[in-house]
Amino acid sequence: MSALFEPYTLRELTIPNRVWMAPMCQYSAAPDGPEAGVPHDWHFAHYAARAAGGTGLILTEATAVSPEGRISPYDLGLWNDTQVEAFRRITRFLVAQGTVPGVQLAHAGRKASTAQPWKGGEPVGADAHGWTPLAPSAVPFKEGHVVPEELTVEQIREIVGRFGDAARRALAAGFEVVEVHGAHGYLVNEFLSPHSNHRTDAYGGSYENRTRFALEVVDAVRAVWPEDKPVFFRISATDWLEEGGWSVDDTVRFARDLQAHGVDLLDVSTGGNVADARIPTGPGYQVPFAARVKAETNLPVAAVGLITDAEQAEKIIANGEADAVLLGRELLRNPSWARHAARELGGEVRVPDQYHRSV
């Protein structure tokens, strides 16, 4: 059997294959009012198509734990029960197709309140449904961006509680995996990196202080998430700075801390916290970071980043570089990528009865 299409079990949850969908924002929810942050027909069709195409696990886009935690005013959220009810429609369908539904919980920090990418992605103000972002320190993401409001300790504790509340709602919505978004320059990542965290209190300075918020968030999520279901953590393994940033050595060290706090898998990405970082992209360019964590710790990992063809994905799993692959753009191009890859590699995926004529 193809390694890519072997089932994978974490705690008591078995995922039918190692082809997983990475979180990708759709920027398509209502920006305000009672429908703010609520998934609708676009989101249902988007996720349903990838489930029908054989994807083993689907992680939703970055789903905000509070209104001010959205990347844009058009992001999804899990801060109220209206959102829970709408997500149930999606998770029911995914489960019916044999796909595991997962949710990525997020707070955008200083990169919040921006326009949709196809409208430039720059910060927006109150006249475009925007707000003042929050961050560990009053340091903007880049020149020309809004200076964020530095969080007080009381506000930090409130956000930690928001993650726990959102995880509780995620369970009620039918999700079976929850992932804490600690990557790409958003709030958790901002605390981790000395590039963006200039605090001098218990949440800044030393490695132990800079990782405190992330571990408190993980603890809040794990406290309400069932013991038989896994918790993931997405990390940017490096800021791509020679000095003064978060490094792969930090990531390996932190992976052990996360595992001790109940995290079951590290979703390994890179970058996003330094606006002008030079990133040498290419096919599978982030896989070595996942491979290093897997080689030096006992924490399972998933690899992501320009993984596009079946043979490439198969080798990553077969060579032991990662336990699963997360596809992004390739699944946007081809919702049935998993089914096509299974045919190429001799693996098997569940095919909906309605699509049997296509096998």
Q: How crowded is residue 31: how many other Cβ atoms within 10 Å of its Cβ?
A: 19
> What's the one-letter identity of residue 211?
T
- pLDDT at position 1 is 82
Concatenated DSSP letters for 233-280? EEEES--S-SSSS--HHHHHHHHHHHHHTT--EEEEE---SSTT----
Residues with Cβ within 8 Å of 205's Cβ and at least 6 positions away in sequence, in order, are 199
Burial of 101 (0-12, 13-18, 19+ CB in 10 A): buried
Residues with Cβ within 8 Å of 217's Cβ and at least 6 positions away in sequence, in order, are 159, 160, 163, 180, 188
Q: Name the percent of the chain in helix, strand, coil, to the closest 5.
A: 40, 15, 45
The dihedral over CA atoms of 61, 64, 70, 73, expressed in degrees to the nearest 10, equals 80
Which of the residues in the chain have pLDDT under 70? Answer: none
Which residues are known catalytic residues? 186
Token pair 């300790």: residue? 153
- pLDDT at position 233 is 98
How far from the centroid of its chain's Cα atoms is residue 355's Cα?
A: 30
- pLDDT at position 144 is 86
Token pair 């045919």: residue? 343
- Helices 41-52 and 81-96, packing angle to 10 deg: 20
Which domains does the chain possess? 3-358 (3.20.20.70)
Q: What is the pTM of this model?
A: 0.97
Residue range 96-136, pLDDT digits in tens: 999 999 999 999 999 999 999 999 999 999 999 999 999 99
Taking the C-alpha atoms of residue 65 and residue 181, their distance in angstroms, rounded to an integer, is 11
Closest CA to 75 of 31, 134, 41: 31
